Amino acid sequence: MTFSCILKIIVLSLYQEINTNTMEKTITIQGIASGISTFYTQAKCCHAFTLTANGKSYKVYVRDNDCEWDLNDGEHYTISGIVITDEMVVATSVDRWGRICDVCGKWHTEGYYVGEDEYACSEECAIKLYNGNEAAFREDLALLDDEETADAAVTYWTEWE
Ligand SMILES: [Zn+2]
């Protein structure tokens, strides 16, 4: 058994006690993930990755159940969890932080949600998702202005947390 494997087991057994211990120090970090790996312990799927925020790196462990999204290297995430050491966190939630533009690939924290789960960082990129049909884009946006059609609106501008 490798050292890192033993470490994972220790972390995960700590994790089980965390739920009953309210004295734990919690933290929320926004950063970029790298080195994502998946492992199983006690038949539970878990992920480990490095989250880099403001030049500092944290080793993050999270159970798959507590992770709302698929994890990808280079993506931005907001994690909340329990501090194990200064550089190690067991996350109780992992959420995406901002979105990657489906047109130009730019990461952004505010932009357009377009139709079938697509993201655009700017009006220009949003129109490209409409194959350049600006009129169709504006028509869809206008649905929001009318109470009767607002619920049907699939394209809108928003801020990602
Ligand atoms: Zn873009």
pLDDT band at 80 (very low <50, low <70, confident <90, very high): very high
**Count of H helices and E strands in the chain?**
4, 10
Q: Is the pLDDT of residue 39 over 70?
A: yes
Contact 97, 108 (CB under 8 A): no
83-88: average pLDDT: 92
- How does pLDDT run across 101-151, given as a tens digit for each residue? 999 999 999 999 998 789 999 999 999 999 999 999 999 999 988 888 888
State which residues have CB under 5 angstroms from ligand 1, the bound ion. 101, 103-104, 106, 121, 125
pTM of this structure: 0.75
Domains with residue ranges and CATH for the chain: 3-96 (2.40.50.140), 99-159 (no CATH)
32 C-beta neighbours (distance < 10 Å), count:
17
The confidence score (pLDDT) of residue 17 equals 57
What is the CA(55)–ligand 1 centre distance, in A? 26
- C-alpha 111 to ligand 1 mean position (Å): 9
